[in-house]
């Protein structure tokens, strides 16, 4: 059976699939050529990350497709229900990237606390003494309160890192069950902290020094944070969004930054990917990364391994 890994696959994932007898093609096919390539090369499985989309048109045009695999969590680039209706297996790897997204967010929280993102941009051309003054009002994470909105896999992984840094964690989720957070401290030690999420975002917003959002794209496309929510936050709050573009209203965000209500924000995701608006990218209080939350070598290996084991488990015998 031929598998097209159109957005790449780790060496380990490829090796496991090839050892099980699959042919893995990794030469990228342009989106508009996808259906032709699948049919001409007799490909029965497509693996994607977030770049390639597999919509109804591709599914209709490829009657021999047996599986669509998404390396990662969000499946908004695949018409999942339609594919399943047509008898196509659709899989993803929800747990593989939680830790990598959580680490990116911690990096961003440290960066926006000290203006690191802006300093990196300006050191080459700026005046040293002026910049030293500009970045002299940094703040520290330890002892501060982080609100994690969306307390699923990534939110819980972030809680583990934040607790390990001595932050207080307040969680918000639609489900209010207590969660035991394991905090590996290193040198073989660990701590355990139980956190019960609130289901009332508006009630907790005013307590938070930092906020990180980890909800999926909302079914109705609505923003979880817009003008009303910004107004309820502590003045000078710092925020990270490594969830999905649109869960924060970008117009309202720019106003909240202009008024000083939000001191700084980190964005890994944008409403208009892959062409985010320039007034976000060149804003000195916004730390931007190009949707790389899940993109660590370790996560790629975990994703490749998980995809390979799911595929081998379901299809290797018939191969
Ligand atoms: P998850 O399903 O484990 O957790 C999401 C949680 O959000 C759930 O517990 C759900 O109850 C909660 N939720 C949903 N809407 C809510 C709302 N309006 N208010 C409060 N809680 C709400 O998902 P996850 O694995 O933690 O991933 C979260 C999201 O992160 C994904 O859907 C994806 O969009 C995004 N993500 C981004 C990257 C990246 O590269 N930046 C990588 C992986 C995932």
Question: What is the number of the ligand 1 atom nearest to the C-alpha of 218?
Answer: 15
H helix runs in 115-249, sequence order: 116-122, 128-134, 153-164, 201-204, 227-232
How many Å separate Cα 297 from the centre of its chain? 15
Residue 155 tokens read as: 């939110």
244 among known catalytic residues: yes
Strands ordered across the beta sheet of 210-213: 168-172, 145-149, 210-213, 237-241, 262-267, 286-288
Exposure on the CB side of residue 73, measured as CA atoms within 13 A: 23
The string of pLDDT tens digits covering residues 147-200 is: 999 999 999 999 999 999 999 999 999 998 999 999 999 999 999 999 999 999
The residue contributing the CA closest to ligand 1 atom 18 is: 224
Question: What is the number of the ligand 1 atom nearest to the C-alpha of 242?
Answer: 41
The string of pLDDT tens digits covering residues 234-248 is: 999 999 999 999 999
Question: What is the number of the ligand 1 atom nearest to the C-alpha of 269?
Answer: 41
CB-based contacts of 205, cutoff 8 Å, min separation 6: 147, 211, 229, 232, 233
The residue contributing the CA closest to ligand 1 atom 21 is: 173
According to the model, what pLDDT value does residue 74 have? 83
**How remote is the CA of residue 29 from the centroid of ligand 1, in Å?**
29
- 88-99: average pLDDT: 95
Task: Give the mean pLDDT of the chain.
Answer: 96
According to the model, what pLDDT value does residue 314 have? 93
**Contact between residue 9 and residue 26 where contact means Cβ atoms under 8 Å apart:** yes
Residue 56 tokens read as: 């109804």
- ∠284-229-245 over CA atoms, to 5°? 55
Residue list, ligand 1 pocket, CB within 6 Å: 72-74, 94, 97-98, 101, 149-155, 172-175, 214-218, 224, 242-244, 268-269, 291, 293-294
319 — pLDDT class (breaks 50, 70, 90): very low
According to the model, what pLDDT value does residue 316 have? 78
The string of pLDDT tens digits covering residues 60-85 is: 999 999 999 999 988 989 999 999 99
pLDDT at 255 over 80: yes
Question: For residues 278 and 109, what is the distance between their CA atoms, to the nearest angstrom?
Answer: 22
Phi-psi region at 144: left, alpha or beta (left = phi > 0; alpha = psi -120 to 50) = beta
Please choose, from the candidates 171, 176, 254, the residue with its C-alpha nearest in 3D space to the C-alpha of residue 210. 171
According to the model, what pLDDT value does residue 73 have? 84
Give, as one character, the DSSP assignment of residue 32.
G
**How remote is the CA of residue 136 from the centroid of ligand 1, in Å?**
35
According to the model, what pLDDT value does residue 317 have? 58
According to the model, what pLDDT value does residue 162 have? 98
Catalytic residue among 244, 250, 283, 302, which? 244
pLDDT at 58 over 70: yes
């Amino acid at each position: 059976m031929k598998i097209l890994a159109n957005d790449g696959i780790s060496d380990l994932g490829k090796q496991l699939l090839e050892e099980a007898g699959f042919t893995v093609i990794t030469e990228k096919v342009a989106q508009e050529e996808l259906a032709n390539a699948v049919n001409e090369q007799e490909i029965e499985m497509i693996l994607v990350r977030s770049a390639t989309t597999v919509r109804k048109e591709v599914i209709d045009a490829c009657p021999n497709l047996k599986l669509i695999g998404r390396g990662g969590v969000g499946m908004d680039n695949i018409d999942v229900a339609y594919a399943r209706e047509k008898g196509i297996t659709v899989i993803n790897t929800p747990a593989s990237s939680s830790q990598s997204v959580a680490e990116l967010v911690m990096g961003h929280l440290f960066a926006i606390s000290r203006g690191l993102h802006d300093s990196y941009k300006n050191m080459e051309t700026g005046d040293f003494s002026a910049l030293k003054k500009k970045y002299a009002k940094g703040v520290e994470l330890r002892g501060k309160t982080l609100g994690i909105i969306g307390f699923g896999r990534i939110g819980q992984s972030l809680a583990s890192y934040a607790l390990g840094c001595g932050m207080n964690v307040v969680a918000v989720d639609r489900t209010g069950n207590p969660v035991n957070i394991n905090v590996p401290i290193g040198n073989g030690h660990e701590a355990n902290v139980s956190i019960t999420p609130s289901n009332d975002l508006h009630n907790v917003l005013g307590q938070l020094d930092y906020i990180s959002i980890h909800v999926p794209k909302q079914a109705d496309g609505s923003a979880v944070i817009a003008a009303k929510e910004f107004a309820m936050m502590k003045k000078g709050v710092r925020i990270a969004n490594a969830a999905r573009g649109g869960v924060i209203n970008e117009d309202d965000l720019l106003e909240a930054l202009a008024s000083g209500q939000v001191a700084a924000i980190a964005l890994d995701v944008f409403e208009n990917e892959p062409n985010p608006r320039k007034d976000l990218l060149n804003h000195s209080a916004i730390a931007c990364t190009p949707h790389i939350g899940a993109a660590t070598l370790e996560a790629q290996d975990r994703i490749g391994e998980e995809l390979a084991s799911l595929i081998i488990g379901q299809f290797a015998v018939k191969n």
